Chains A and B, each alone.
Chain A
């Protein structure tokens, strides 16, 4: 029922003048979950604000994740491994980064859903009952409703089945588990309107479908084999398999050529080929989360798990079962994907914890036993000469492991407090005397917009700030973080990158009342719009209407991007430059430096004394981080 409600909702406050069909462009899981919790609590007269529900949803679900991780690792190895894995995931920074209070994001619940599905899947494979397969399908449905990352899931489970087939571990249990999961899960997932018919039409889902077919064939072959003798069977098998393979490949090719199967979508392609997105889709490459992961960030987010991961893999290999094959596949694949995209560190973190949990628990239980033995049979040492200094080494090992675990805890606490605990909307810096200076400029500007502009005012800004403006300023915006329409974003990029006259035409066309830019030159806040500007140029120039915007115009002849006197004239006269640096040329920012010294780029700006013709300064925040301009009306005729 909730899904239907979502479908009907149309948001005319964003993507002006297009608007956005909410149900068709988002995964509803997060909202439905929070609304359900809110209504249940209020029905019980626990009068909690919906905002508080949203704020604490991610921490709540991360605690659920901990529980599910325990059960998953318990299924894979032992309760001990489960406990260690749960403890590890409870504090791993890679996951905390997305589950702190206030991070109301799809990923917050999606990781829980993903692990829940894996747990149900493993249960289903182990028992081969319809009950667990159906539960797995339901968990999968919840996952589909909450995050686009479900594609990972619907590929890894078939891959697991395929591996089981190849290794000759295919059984009735697997057949029941996968067939029911695929059928129920696919039908359920098609109920999400954002997903729609994708599960039967796009190539991302074809793997799952193919494996489903293979399952049927495999089962049928097994059945035939039980009725024929070996020779007959072999002949039959060879003939049938070659025909089917040829027919299958042909059908796929034809369907793809006819466009019945959608080509690989950009985001997924960039997973397989890291340079794909950068070369083809600037909007995907422009997000820092979509950049390849640096090695240091693996250590930063996972610490000792990076080293325990191979150990865990070893233990899984040493005791190969159906479910261990699954976790091996999951681990290896996700480590590849995490290397491609920083954002997917989130998918890697749970499997790292599980495998490390298995490793630590196996190692400790091996060595702890040796210590235990020694204590009980103190007197009988002379009869146990098979290991040299058995207890001492065991003790030493356990001590080293404890030190590792303590270091892990300390590291996690430090990373969490240092990197993931501060709100990104309120910035803080240390003053000369060590006191804390708070830059609350974002909220200042948004609140000004909320109360001192007409209620139907249209605000143009780069898409990064779209959601913030919608939520905090409650004003209509042109583009937001749901980057569903590339050309519209490109139009905004063109306006920012054009000269004032051209930009004015675009802004009139889009009916813009206010323009908002983020400027860090006074405070040294480095992720401002000038530093993002090249992306605006690239995205702006990537569509037909923006062919007049060429990236090389914004570079100096030497190919540098500079805002000082050497900078290209196109850059120094474009709308974005003018909005950021309007009247900044008079400001002394640092002692001993000329006025108009930009503290992010560390240069004196090149174009200082200019006036704005089509805009007027409407508001600038205390530290100049947010600057809002009002678009002037057309001048009166003859004036």
Chain B
């Protein structure tokens, strides 16, 4: 389906282009006035041309042409044509008469009527056009570069008057070509004004000057954006940086670098600006965190002061990763199940940056369909792939695109439309729940399954005995507590002297003691089936317990007698002491028996 659409588009473009090519150069247009500003202070060359176009013909003109030399075309990174504050539509084209020159056809906003004028601004940026000369320098030397251009503005139309101003970074200029009139100040060289220049005039301009601004190129930028509908967008950029100024000749002396500060063209650090909402920023490479960086949070951006592990001299390169998270609500818009992701194709790496090659991959959530990509400038879209990570089943769709030769002007938003049923958000939690459920289920089944081939009587009876013994313990504990209660009652009776009241409670307690004893007796029978050894011990326990009970009951009756006056105090003491001792012995015996059971 998409293929068909592309084919159609191509055919359309082809037809249009063909149609136009036959429609040659418009001889009616004249450049009344051209003011060109060439900025060669940094590593990129920015050329801004202000053109006043006049229609000297009879018919209104809808479009005009911008021409570039083949060298410029090769190094061209971006071109923008504006008129009265609005950007004009621009398209690359060819002219038969001038096969070497690259042309761009610009559509005017409204047709230019005869003898009317219009102001247009053409801005374009060239990269890698400044040539270090000499190509390699020693550590303490300054970096000299050569700019080669054209004294005249290359135009398919004749020009009435034109001026070119070249901005240079410092007054240190080795040499510059002179096509009179020229003027030279500290920071600029002015060529012109030149009057009545014919169409396609060329005259080589060359400026050899000192330029110590950072000549830093991103040779490859891999930008990975991972979108999560749980509220986060993770961005990670893998960056290869090369210092492509004059390369270092001879040794690098740390002593000179530290003491004399004469390494003019070397780069110690640079600034990267990332979105203001970025958090969890990291800066690392293959061998771990790079400890030399600073982060400054400002109102509208986060500024990172990145220092590579080593200073970069000409020809040296480094490689690093930078990553951060941004909240998705700033970039992801939705209406029902339809989503729109709007974020930057590239972000700022350093000032006046050049990026030789970009690979942007956007990882969308699992289950995304109907992906539509819109970019503000043409890019090459690669085939969609799948990415598997935590808890993925069918894989996440990955949209990837690539583009060569980019500069700051390319920091623009792309829009990605897609459809994502919100119910799919539950898929991963449910998956986890299911996995754990299955795990627990398996464990439950496993512990309940008996996989032994033959029954192991010995262990089983042992286990039965131990469970019975446990029951004996619990029952005995209950019984022991009852004894304690009984003793409390005896004490109470001593003070309250209310025999009737006490008898009712003690009766009750004694009955419960009997119940517990009965329970244990039942257990003895059960234990005996498996182990006579333990059964004997429990029986012994019962015997001792019986003795104990008799003692306690005896004590109780004694106290009752004492309270009701049937026994003297002396008599009571005499009978009670041996009873007490007996009781102690019984308790001791019970304890040792219990520990053995």
B255-A440 in contact (CB<8A): no
Interface of chain A residues 589 through 639 with chain B (CB within 8 A) = 616-622, 624, 630
B388-A617 in contact (CB<8A): no
A8 to chain B, nearest CB (A): 27
Known interface pairs A383-B584, A447-B318, A451-B317; A616-B309 also in contact (CB < 8 Å): no
A617-B310 in contact (CB<8A): no
B-chain residues with CB within 8 Å of residue A619 when the two chains form the complex:
252, 254, 310
Q: Does B392 contact A (CB under 8 A)?
A: yes
A624-B285 in contact (CB<8A): no
B50 to chain A, nearest CB (A): 44
Q: Does B264 contact A (CB under 8 A)?
A: no
Q: What separation, in Å, do the CA atoms of A47 and B363 have in the docked complex?
A: 15
A447-B285 in contact (CB<8A): yes
A447-B310 in contact (CB<8A): yes
Q: Does B370 contact A (CB under 8 A)?
A: no
Q: Does B84 contact A (CB under 8 A)?
A: no
A444-B251 in contact (CB<8A): no
A617-B253 in contact (CB<8A): yes
Q: What separation, in Å, do the CA atoms of A47 and B252 have in the docked complex?
A: 42
Chain B interface size, under 10 / 10 to 19 / 20 to 34 / 35 or more: 20 to 34
Known interface pairs A440-B291, A440-B309; A451-B316 also in contact (CB < 8 Å): yes
Known interface pairs A45-B391, A47-B388, A624-B254; A438-B287 also in contact (CB < 8 Å): no
* Contact pick for A448, options B255, B288, B292, B310, CB 8 Å: B310
A259 to chain B, nearest CB (A): 46
B241 to chain A: closest residue by CB: A451
B254-A47 in contact (CB<8A): no
Q: Does A294 contact B (CB under 8 A)?
A: no
Q: Mark A568-608, 1 if CB is under 8 A from B, else 0.
A: 00000000000000010011000000000000000000000
A377 to chain B, nearest CB (A): 8
Interface of chain B residues 283 through 309 with chain A (CB within 8 A) = 285-288, 291-292, 309
B282 to chain A, nearest CB (A): 14
Known interface pairs A587-B255, A619-B310; A438-B291 also in contact (CB < 8 Å): yes
A446 to chain B: closest residue by CB: B287
Q: What separation, in Å, do the CA atoms of A444 and B316 have in the docked complex?
A: 13
Interface of chain B residues 81 through 128 with chain A (CB within 8 A) = none
B-chain residues with CB within 8 Å of residue A452 when the two chains form the complex:
310, 315-317
B287-A621 in contact (CB<8A): no
Interface of chain B residues 359 through 413 with chain A (CB within 8 A) = 388-392
B250 to chain A: closest residue by CB: A616
Known interface pairs A45-B388, A46-B390, A452-B316; A443-B252 also in contact (CB < 8 Å): no
Q: Does A380 contact B (CB under 8 A)?
A: yes
B-chain residues with CB within 8 Å of residue A377 when the two chains form the complex:
587
Known interface pairs A47-B389, A451-B319, A619-B310; A440-B252 also in contact (CB < 8 Å): no
B594 to chain A, nearest CB (A): 12
A584 to chain B: closest residue by CB: B255
B292 to chain A: closest residue by CB: A440
A-chain residues with CB within 8 Å of residue B317 when the two chains form the complex:
451-452
Q: Mark B246-269, 1 if CB is under 8 A from A, else 0.
A: 000011111100000000000000
> Which among A426, A617, A618 has the highest number of chain B CB atoms within 10 Å?
A617
A364 to chain B, nearest CB (A): 18
Q: Mark B567-597, 1 if CB is under 8 A from A, else 0.
A: 0000000000000000010010000000000
B-chain residues with CB within 8 Å of residue A426 when the two chains form the complex:
291
Known interface pairs A380-B584, A451-B319, A616-B250; A444-B309 also in contact (CB < 8 Å): yes
Q: Does A200 contact B (CB under 8 A)?
A: no
Known interface pairs A47-B389, A443-B309, A447-B310; A617-B251 also in contact (CB < 8 Å): yes
> Which among A451, A616, A619 has the highest number of chain B CB atoms within 10 Å?
A451
A423 to chain B: closest residue by CB: B288
A627 to chain B: closest residue by CB: B254
Q: Does A472 contact B (CB under 8 A)?
A: yes
Q: What separation, in Å, do the CA atoms of A426 and B254 have in the docked complex?
A: 20
A583 to chain B: closest residue by CB: B255
A620-B392 in contact (CB<8A): no
B287-A472 in contact (CB<8A): yes
A-chain residues with CB within 8 Å of residue B252 when the two chains form the complex:
617-620
B287-A447 in contact (CB<8A): yes
B291-A47 in contact (CB<8A): no
B392-A45 in contact (CB<8A): yes
Interface of chain B residues 309 through 339 with chain A (CB within 8 A) = 309-310, 315-319
> Which among B255, B309, B316 has the highest number of chain A CB atoms within 10 Å?
B309
A-chain residues with CB within 8 Å of residue B392 when the two chains form the complex:
45
B287 to chain A: closest residue by CB: A472
B-chain residues with CB within 8 Å of residue A380 when the two chains form the complex:
584, 587
B-chain residues with CB within 8 Å of residue A444 when the two chains form the complex:
309-310
A443-B254 in contact (CB<8A): no
Q: What separation, in Å, do the CA atoms of A348 and B292 have in the docked complex?
A: 41
A45-B288 in contact (CB<8A): no
A9 to chain B, nearest CB (A): 22
B249 to chain A, nearest CB (A): 11
Q: What separation, in Å, do the CA atoms of A587 and B256 have in the docked complex?
A: 10
A-chain residues with CB within 8 Å of residue B285 when the two chains form the complex:
447
A448-B254 in contact (CB<8A): no
A111 to chain B, nearest CB (A): 26
Interface of chain B residues 440 through 493 with chain A (CB within 8 A) = none
B51 to chain A, nearest CB (A): 45
B253-A583 in contact (CB<8A): yes
Q: What separation, in Å, do the CA atoms of A444 and B310 have in the docked complex?
A: 6
B318-A451 in contact (CB<8A): yes
A-chain residues with CB within 8 Å of residue B316 when the two chains form the complex:
448, 451-452
B391-A616 in contact (CB<8A): no
A-chain residues with CB within 8 Å of residue B254 when the two chains form the complex:
617, 619-622, 624
Q: What separation, in Å, do the CA atoms of A446 and B391 have in the docked complex?
A: 37
Q: What separation, in Å, do the CA atoms of A377 and B588 have in the docked complex?
A: 10
B478 to chain A, nearest CB (A): 16
A560 to chain B, nearest CB (A): 29
B255-A443 in contact (CB<8A): no
Q: What separation, in Å, do the CA atoms of A397 and B587 have in the docked complex?
A: 28
B251-A443 in contact (CB<8A): no
Known interface pairs A583-B253, A587-B255, A624-B254; A448-B309 also in contact (CB < 8 Å): yes
Known interface pairs A380-B584, A440-B309, A447-B318; A586-B291 also in contact (CB < 8 Å): no
B310 to chain A: closest residue by CB: A448
Q: What separation, in Å, do the CA atoms of A452 and B319 have in the docked complex?
A: 11
A-chain residues with CB within 8 Å of residue B587 when the two chains form the complex:
377, 380
A-chain residues with CB within 8 Å of residue B390 when the two chains form the complex:
45-47
B318 to chain A: closest residue by CB: A451
A-chain residues with CB within 8 Å of residue B318 when the two chains form the complex:
447, 451
B389-A45 in contact (CB<8A): yes
A51 to chain B: closest residue by CB: B286
B-chain residues with CB within 8 Å of residue A617 when the two chains form the complex:
251-254
Q: What separation, in Å, do the CA atoms of A426 and B292 have in the docked complex?
A: 12
A443-B288 in contact (CB<8A): yes
A-chain residues with CB within 8 Å of residue B250 when the two chains form the complex:
616
Q: What separation, in Å, do the CA atoms of A389 and B561 have in the docked complex?
A: 39
B-chain residues with CB within 8 Å of residue A616 when the two chains form the complex:
250-251
Q: What separation, in Å, do the CA atoms of A616 and B252 have in the docked complex?
A: 9
A586-B255 in contact (CB<8A): yes
> Which among A47, A380, A452, A587 has the highest number of chain B CB atoms within 10 Å?
A452
A474 to chain B, nearest CB (A): 8
Sample of 26 A–B contacts (CB below 8 Å): A45-B391, A47-B389, A377-B587, A426-B291, A438-B291, A440-B291, A440-B292, A440-B309, A443-B288, A447-B309, A447-B310, A448-B309, A448-B316, A452-B310, A452-B316, A583-B253, A586-B255, A616-B250, A617-B252, A617-B253, A617-B254, A618-B252, A620-B252, A620-B255, A622-B254, A630-B251
* Besides A45-B388, A620-B254, 5 other A-B contacts (C-beta < 8 A): A47-B389, A47-B390, A583-B253, A587-B255, A621-B310
> Which 10 A-B pairs rank lowest in CB-CB distance, beginning with the nearest?
A620-B254, A617-B251, A616-B251, A444-B309, A47-B389, A447-B309, A583-B255, A472-B287, A448-B310, A452-B316
Interface residues, chain B, with chain A CB atoms under 8 Å away: 250-255, 285-288, 291-292, 309-310, 315-319, 388-392, 584, 587
